[in-house]
Amino acid sequence: MIQFQDLHKAFDGKQVLTGFTLDVKDGETLVIIGYSGSGKSVALKHVVGLLHPDAGDVTVDGRAVSTLDRPSLAALRREIGFVFQFAALFDSLNVADNVRLGLERRGLPADEIAERVREALALVDLTGTDDRYPAELSGGMRKRVGIARAIALRPRYMLYDEPTTGLDPVTSAVMDRLMVRTREHLGVTGVVVTHDMRSAYTVGDRIAMLYEGRVRQVGTVEEIRQTEDPVVRQFIEGRPS
């Protein structure tokens, strides 16, 4: 279970999160929606300790992330797969080596690493791209390698930062299907950050809207579709004010 507890974060005096509180239950996929620049990525990065909260904290299975020492933080990160918005693949490594890097860190035997790389690339339909470099791939393929890199580690949690942003509708649907498949395959608990409502309705069990630094509303997909809250309504319908 991931719990955002009264999270506060400001950059250079600019408040981004002001009491962000949200629980992610085991087994569910929770979607966080919100305007660009509202702090969705900032919230997600606190879960793996890439950012340090000004106040409040995130707990993962009871462990308060900002209080962990280095070994415990490393152990926590092993349980969490993070898929970055622009994939963040290592330019200097080919596809297979990108997927392999995290496995090598675990000190797994070579044949198991090879097997897991193969399996992860197969799961994202990228078998046979091992030797290609990130610069030679399309945006959608890069994101799929990013997913493969995360799932090869068999995490308990998957965090996706805008998995469909910038992709065409068909490729977006492919990404949605992959997220659903990953969840079925690994039984992971997921947090998906997006402003793509079609994707949110497809992959989410529940949806939370981040607005002005806090959760504006959280509910099941059905509850959000039926919402009476004017701010949430405006966002999900994509109406200019």
Partner 1 sequence: MIAHVGRSAVAGIKAVGRFGQFVSDMVRALSDVATWGRLTPVQMRRVGVDSLPVALFIAAFTGVVLALQASYTFTGTVPLYFVGTLVGKTMMLELGPVLAGLALAGRVGASMAAELGTMRVTEQVDALETLAYDPQSYLVVPRVLAGTAMFPVIVALAILTGILTGWLASLLLLDLSTQEFIKGLKLFYRFKDTWFGLFKSATFGFTITLVGCIVGLGTRGGAEGVGRSTMQAVVYSAVLLLMLDAFWAMVLLR
Residue 41 sits in the site that holds Mg ion (CB under 5 A): yes
Residue 9 sits in the site that holds partner 1 (CB under 8 A): no
Q: Which does 143 bind (CB under 5 to 8 A by kind): Mg ion, ligand ADP, partner 1, none?
A: none
Query: Which one-letter amino acid corresponds to residue 12?
Result: D
How far separated are the first and last CA of the chain, in Å rounded? 36
User: What does the per-residue mask of binding to partner 1 show for 104-133, with x meaning CB under 8 A?
Assistant: -x----------------------------
Between strands 206-211 and 14-24, the pairing is unpaired
Q: For the residues of 33-66, what is the DSSP string, one character each?
A: E--TTSSHHHHHHHHTTSS--SEEEEEETTEEGG
What is the footprint of partner 1 within residues 201-240 (CB under 8 A)? none
Q: Which does 116 bind (CB under 5 to 8 A by kind): ligand ADP, Mg ion, partner 1, none?
A: none
Collapse the DSSP code of 158 into the 3-class scheme (helix H, G, I; strand E, B; otherwise coil) and give the result: strand
Buried/exposed 168-180: b ≥16 CB within 10 Å, e otherwise? eeebbebbbebbe
Residue 227 sits in the site that holds Mg ion (CB under 5 A): no
Binding site for ligand ADP (CB under 6 A): 11, 16, 34, 36-42
Binding site for partner 1 (CB under 8 A): 45, 48, 50, 74, 77-78, 80-82, 84-86, 88-91, 101-102, 105, 149, 153
